[in-house]
Amino acid sequence: MPFNFITIIEILGTFSFAVSGAFAAMEKELDPLGVLIISFVTAIGGGTIRDLLLGNTPVTWLTDNTTAWVIAISAVAAVFFGSTLKKFDKLLFLTDAIGLGLFTMIGIQKCLQHGLSTGICIALGTITACFGGVLRDVLLNKVPLIFQKEIYASACIAGGLLFFIMRKWQLAENPDYIAGIITVFVIRLLAVRFNWSLPIFYLRKKP
Amino acid sequence: MPFNFITIIEILGTFSFAVSGAFAAMEKELDPLGVLIISFVTAIGGGTIRDLLLGNTPVTWLTDNTTAWVIAISAVAAVFFGSTLKKFDKLLFLTDAIGLGLFTMIGIQKCLQHGLSTGICIALGTITACFGGVLRDVLLNKVPLIFQKEIYASACIAGGLLFFIMRKWQLAENPDYIAGIITVFVIRLLAVRFNWSLPIFYLRKKP
Amino acid sequence: MPFNFITIIEILGTFSFAVSGAFAAMEKELDPLGVLIISFVTAIGGGTIRDLLLGNTPVTWLTDNTTAWVIAISAVAAVFFGSTLKKFDKLLFLTDAIGLGLFTMIGIQKCLQHGLSTGICIALGTITACFGGVLRDVLLNKVPLIFQKEIYASACIAGGLLFFIMRKWQLAENPDYIAGIITVFVIRLLAVRFNWSLPIFYLRKKP
């Protein structure tokens, strides 16, 4: 794996996903090994589900030691320097949002290699980016956060759509992926800044 | 996929599974995207687990756009016309029960192609039909319904058993699958009509 | 499968895993079929996740009828003779601990066949031994026990580490696996006897 720009984003994204998993596990008072496991699941869960569905086995992180090391270091950092890390919560949020965009596009890229349809590519891109968090919440016995709060998966879908529109209209040659990542990133930022969420117009009225 | 009788049942079954997922998600007040995701998981979860265990990858729904469209339409219908759909709850129950039978038999058929033993075929047939609902309940943070209430998975097992008995004794040539589907359907109907459930004779007595 | 020493341990381990699943399900008042399903998931869940990640499909228990029979008998025994079985809880604990060690080493062995790195081998060995219990707890809507109480997964990791140290230093030729199994077994015993658990030093202070 050449240590280029994408690699740096990927490492930062993995780091912030793993740290978010570790913090959620520490809040539930899991033991240090439990924290490590939840970190792992949060960081590699989405990509693993995608690889299993596509039949890309052994799944990526089994053979790529970088990922495993980044996650292990993230979990240790969260356990020992949690309060320090929390001071950088805005930075973590930014790397998380970049990671969200990058993982969406990695997922879409892998689906394109399998010749899948546009809709399925976007769905699997979104799964890649979001289902680590879904598994984290299931393991911690909570209703997955992304089903309830803020624009999260929707940002991935929007980024994926833009990517395919640009691709179809040949609006750009190679930078489509970058455009997708930036779209996810910006929408996620705006969503949190302005507290956007999808309307739940079918709520049962309570007396 | 030729648009024949089986296809129609499959679409109806997928529709009613997806709608049941959507309603369960709306009850938990998920946002529209969460509703769509739960619809998907409910409708394709069982078949996906079966395909993963067998190594049939990429799993079916990645390459079969019909399924994805049926589910998306079901979720949208549930979100926008939920109260109308609920008026047809008896019809939905019937299509759900037919779907249960069909998906059991599809699962058994795929296992037979892999030359698996009778018991494993029936088990995977039941998983195909029931584990979408199990995943739905896990994601919504509930103990899976099928482990607790009514005859549900048992109907699939009974249908599977009948299929293999007929097959062994050459009671019929091709219509075995149809007989299995009808068995599951009828048992499920009777179970709900007469409120059948498996006896839980090991319950701890409460003072 | 030749009926040798390892086979006997494997059957005993599967039996005690399945019984632990059945008891947990009965406590949650599931119906008999639910108990059987939870038994199955507890006993084969870890190995199934390992096989899926590695791409070893169809997964082992689909083609190995011994496992399925052992689990079915365990579940029936737990349902009908639960109170008798509970008198042997110390024996069940011992077979469970041996099973823990054996399944860890089976997992490591399969990873070595795929040429994976030491850390990943130990991780997948631990997953093989522990994630059946994780799935059991997720299905029963609980935070997985192994993340919170006692030394459990840590024993597997310690056994795996010892195995690789012995292997590297050529301390033994073939009995490495046995040494690993015994390590897991002994640590697990000591952990329960002396009530060991990992320190949770990052707990939020409560006022």
Predicted complex ipTM: 0.86
Q: How far is C74 from chain B (nearest CA, A)?
A: 15
Chains with 3+ CB–CB pairs under 8 A to C are A, B
Residue B6 in this model has a pLDDT that exceeds 80: no
Q: How far is C183 from chain A (nearest CA, A)?
A: 18
Q: Confidence band (pLDDT; 50, 70, 90) for A60? A: confident
C4-11's contacts with Cβ under 8 Å and 24+ in sequence apart are C6/C102, C9/C98, C9/C99, C9/C102, C9/C181, C10/C99, C10/C102, C10/C106, C11/C66, C11/C70
User: Is B98 buried (19+), middle (13-18) or exposed (0-12) by CB count in 10 A?
Assistant: buried
- Note the pLDDT of residue C172: 59
Residue A174 in this model has a pLDDT that exceeds 70: no
Hey, are the CB atoms on A53 and B55 less than 8 Å from each other?
no
Q: Confidence band (pLDDT; 50, 70, 90) for C175? A: low
Nearest residue of A to residue B60, measured between CA atoms = A53
Hey, are the CB atoms on A30 and C200 less than 8 Å from each other?
yes
Q: How far is CA A204 from CA A99, A143, B26, B82, in A?
A: 36, 19, 9, 11
Residue C174 in this model has a pLDDT that exceeds 70: no
Cβ neighbours around C44 below 10 Å, total = 25
Picking from C53, C119, C146, the nearest residue to A59 by CB comes out as C53
Q: What is the mean pLDDT of residues C43-47?
A: 93
More confident residue, A19 or C147: A19
DSSP A149: S
Q: Confidence band (pLDDT; 50, 70, 90) for A203? A: low
Alpha helices in chain B (DSSP H): 5-27, 32-54, 60-63, 65-87, 89-113, 118-139, 153-168, 176-193
- Note the pLDDT of residue B63: 87
* Of C2, C20, C27, C168, nearest in space to C91 by CA: C20
Mean pLDDT (chain A, rounded) = 85
Q: Confidence band (pLDDT; 50, 70, 90) for C159? A: very high
Nearest residue of B to residue A111, measured between CA atoms = B62
User: Is A207 buried (19+), middle (13-18) or exposed (0-12) by CB count in 10 A?
Assistant: exposed
More confident residue, A17 or C149: A17
Residue A1 in this model has a pLDDT that exceeds 50: no
Per mean pLDDT, which range of A147-151, B103-107, C72-76 is the poorest?
A147-151
Hey, are the CB atoms on A120 and B28 less than 8 Å from each other?
no
More confident residue, A17 or B172: A17
Residues on chain C touching A68 (C-beta within 8 angstroms): 119-120, 123
- Note the pLDDT of residue A92: 81
- Tens digit of pLDDT for each residue in C97-125? 888 899 999 999 889 989 899 999 999 99
Hey, are the CB atoms on C29 and B200 less than 8 Å from each other?
yes
C interface mutation test: which of A39, A62, A80, A140 has the most C CBs within 10 A? A62
Residues on chain A touching C116 (C-beta within 8 angstroms): 58, 62-63
Q: How many CB pairs under 8 A join B and C?
A: 73
Integer Cα distance of B67 and C30 in angstroms: 32
- Note the pLDDT of residue C73: 93
B interface mutation test: which of C27, C33, C65, C142 has the most B CBs within 10 A? C33
Picking from A25, A58, A139, the nearest residue to C53 by CB comes out as A58
Question: What's the whole-model pTM score?
Answer: 0.90
Q: What is the mean pLDDT of residues C67-96?
A: 86
More confident residue, C206 or B88: B88
Q: Confidence band (pLDDT; 50, 70, 90) for B1? A: very low
Q: Confidence band (pLDDT; 50, 70, 90) for B57? A: confident
Residue C45 near residue A50 (C-beta atoms within 8 A): no
Q: What is the mean pLDDT of residues A161-169?
A: 86
Per mean pLDDT, which range of A114-118, B2-6, B132-136, C190-194 is the poorest?
B2-6
Q: Name the CA radius of gyration of chain C, rounded.
A: 17
- Note the pLDDT of residue A136: 92
Mean pLDDT (chain B, rounded) = 85
- Tens digit of pLDDT for each residue in A83-135? 887 787 788 888 888 888 999 999 998 899 898 999 999 999 999 999 999 99
Asked if the peptide bond before residue B58 counts as cis, ω within 30 degrees of 0, the response is: yes
Alpha helices in A55-175 (DSSP H): 60-63, 65-87, 89-113, 118-139, 153-168
Residue A3 in this model has a pLDDT that exceeds 60: no
Q: Name the CA radius of gyration of chain B, rounded.
A: 17
The residues, any chain, with a CB within 8 Å of residue A138's CB and separated by 6 or more, are A144, B138, B139, B141, C138
Nearest residue of C to residue B146, measured between CA atoms = C34
More confident residue, B9 or B69: B69
Hey, are the CB atoms on A143 and B28 less than 8 Å from each other?
yes
Residue A45 in this model has a pLDDT that exceeds 90: yes
* Of C170, C199, C185, C177, nearest in space to C96 by CA: C185
Q: How far is C83 from chain B (nearest CA, A)?
A: 10
* Of C201, C49, C7, C123, nearest in space to A52 by CA: C49
Q: Confidence band (pLDDT; 50, 70, 90) for A171? A: low
- Note the pLDDT of residue A207: 43
Determine what percent of chain A is predicted with pLDDT higher than 70: 92
Residues on chain C touching B141 (C-beta within 8 angstroms): 141
Residue B173 in this model has a pLDDT that exceeds 80: no
* Domain boundaries of chain C, sorted by first residue: 5-142
Q: How far is C4 from chain A (nearest CA, A)?
A: 31
Residues on chain A touching B62 (C-beta within 8 angstroms): 53-54, 114, 116, 120, 124
- Note the pLDDT of residue B73: 93
